[in-house]
Structure 1
Amino acid sequence: MEVRHSVHPEDVKRLTTEELRERFLIQGLFKPDEIKMVYSHVDRMITGSACPIKPLALEVGKGLGVEYFLERRELGVINVGGAGVVKVDGVEYALNTTDGLYVGKGSKEITFSSNDAGKPAKFYFNSAPAHTTYPTAKIERQSITPAHLGSIQSSNERNIYKYIHPQGVKSCQLVMGMTALEPGNMWNSMPCHTHDRRMEVYFYFNLPEDAAVFHLMGEPSQTRHIVMSNEEAVISPSWSIHSGVATSCYTFIWGMAGENQTFDDMDHVAMKNLK
């Protein structure tokens, strides 16, 4: 498991392009028959992926200092590939494309598998520390009524699907969902905001291979950007904006952890104050 340490906003002002990418960008997700994980010291969020050709077990490794992965954690999973199954302590949960699963603290045995090795599942996941156990629950995307926001005039018409949140599938602190831009739209989370009480991770997908996302980050008065490709993720500390524009429409998964779970608890930034 790769470890990323926290970065002070004053330090980010002096980072090179390569250093920004090393500290915040997550690449190399969905390698066949491999579970990849990145542990961030920002709210101790783990971001990971599993692309099983044969069944893959979620192992704890040495970094967490516990006997099994979810001994003191919870897990949110969204499948962005072919149909697959997540088995939790012997119970199988079938996940089609964009279906999700919440797994509560205390679950011991977790395995990922694909229905068709030729079209493997791509399980993207976030995991946050937890002190309370909530029931494991499957989330079908078609069962979620999205919030429709934005407009084609602003190039940000989109549907927001909330998977794990206080009014839906409940968790200890993890909040997770997906935003799908309508065709012809390219902007997300603009006008932008910060939320000093929660960190966030964005995972961009459904982007053409020859397209790029320009993810905006940094303090509102000291913005920076990271150029990203399809199926890459980026860590956003609580002090940073998290917004982006791409050369095509796309979908992204957002995962949050921190002091609260209030989706609308945002510190909005006026466009005139961005620099």
Structure 2
Amino acid sequence: MEIRHATNPTDFKSYTTESLRHDFLIESLFVQGELKMTYSHYDRVVTGGAIPTSQPLKLEDQDSLKTNYFLERREVGIINIGAEGNVVVDGKSYTLNKRDCLYVGLGNEEVVFESANAENPAKFYLVSTPAHKQYPTKKAPIEDAEPTHLGADSESNKRTIYKYIHADGIQSCQLMMGMTLLEPNNMWNTMPAHLHDRRMEVYLYFDMDENSRVFHFMGQPNETRHLLVKNEQAVLSPPWSIHSGVGTSNYTFIWAMAGENYTFTDMDAVSMDELK
């Protein structure tokens, strides 16, 4: 488990490109046959990626968490961005196709990732947060998720938002998780930007070709910086930071939030005049 410590917006102003990437960009999440995880001190969020091939992969890291099992004091949201796979939770198997979501709550002792075909493996993206109450394990196929259509071609931000884990969907303690798909010829997400100082956020960008990039903007509204993000890389967004991006082509991203406020619409809008 890689550990990322929190920083503050004052020090952030002096960061180099290398410093930004070291603290906020997760460059290598998905490796064949491995489970990779990053622990952030922003709301103690764990971000991970698993590609099981010929052997299953178990969700575990006792050395980092100092607990008997991974979900002893945590919950986790899992979205498959690859081929068909299974998540086995305490002996019960859940099949996830591409873009399906599974929530696994506090107290489940064993979570195992499997691919249906080792030659064409699943890619399980996971975000885990501390939890105080047990909620039931629940699957949400993408076809059952309620879409919200936003944006317009004229502003290059026509997109569809799918909310999986939230107050009106799959119940959780503090984790909120969903996915946004941009239509062809649309590149912008979340502009004008916003803040939510009550929770942090993680963005995973995917469904991009090898030469595509997303310019992810972050920082306080009057002190913005950018990260250049490749396919299947993730960005840790602090509570004090905007989080917005524009790509060289359309893309898909998974957003996950954790913190004090469980209200999806709790956002502090930032006007274009404030951005610098």
Same fold (TM over 0.5): yes
1:270 aligns with 2:239: no
Matched letter for residue 237 of structure 1 = P
User: How many Å separate the matches in 2 of 1:241 and 1:30?
Assistant: 26
User: How many Å separate the matches in 1 of 2:127 and 2:256?
Assistant: 7
In structure 2, the residue matched to 1:55 is 56
User: How many Å separate the matches in 2 of 1:145 and 1:163?
Assistant: 8
In structure 2, the residue matched to 1:180 is 181
In structure 2, the residue matched to 1:255 is 256
Alpha-carbon shift at residue 60 of structure 1 (Å): 2.5
- Listed as ranges, the matches of 1:213-228 within 5 Å are 213-228=214-229
User: How many Å separate the matches in 1 of 2:64 and 2:10?
Assistant: 28
- Listed as ranges, the matches of 1:105-116 within 5 Å are 105-116=106-117
Matched letter for residue 95 of structure 1 = L
1:158 aligns with 2:159: yes
User: How many Å separate the matches in 2 of 1:131 and 1:145?
Assistant: 27
CA deviations on 1:203-235 (whole Å, 9 max, x unpaired) are 000011101100000000000000000000000
Query: Which ranges in structure 2 are unaligned for 5 or more consecutive residues?
Result: none
User: How many Å separate the matches in 2 of 1:210 and 1:38?
Assistant: 25
Query: Which ranges in structure 1 are unaligned for 5 or more consecutive residues?
Result: none
In structure 2, the residue matched to 1:39 is 39
In structure 1, the residue matched to 2:98 is 97
User: How many Å separate the matches in 2 of 1:30 and 1:51?
Assistant: 6
User: How many Å separate the matches in 2 of 1:139 and 1:225?
Assistant: 33
User: How many Å separate the matches in 1 of 2:116 and 2:64?
Assistant: 31
Q: Percent identity?
A: 59
1:10 aligns with 2:10: yes
SS at match of 1:52: coil
TM-score (norm 2): 0.99
Alpha-carbon shift at residue 40 of structure 1 (Å): 0.1
Alpha-carbon shift at residue 59 of structure 1 (Å): 1.3
CA deviations on 1:215-264 (whole Å, 9 max, x unpaired) are 00000000000000000000000000000000000000000000111111
User: How many Å separate the matches in 1 of 2:164 and 2:63?
Assistant: 30
Matched letter for residue 60 of structure 2 = E
User: How many Å separate the matches in 1 of 2:77 and 2:261?
Assistant: 17
Task: Say what the alpha-carbon RMSD is for the aligned residues.
Answer: 0.5
Flag as ranges the 4+ runs of structure 1 deviating above 3 A: none
In structure 2, the residue matched to 1:20 is 20
SS at match of 1:242: strand
User: How many Å separate the matches in 2 of 1:261 and 1:119?
Assistant: 37
Alpha-carbon shift at residue 184 of structure 1 (Å): 0.6
CA contact (8 A) 1:208 1:248 kept: no
CA contact (8 A) 1:78 1:123 kept: yes
How many residue pairs match? The answer is 275
User: How many Å separate the matches in 1 of 2:77 and 2:60?
Assistant: 16
TM-score (norm 1): 0.99
Matched letter for residue 229 of structure 1 = K
CA contact (8 A) 1:186 1:250 kept: yes
User: How many Å separate the matches in 1 of 2:145 and 2:101?
Assistant: 11
Matched letter for residue 72 of structure 1 = R
SS at match of 1:63: helix
Alpha-carbon shift at residue 65 of structure 1 (Å): 1.4
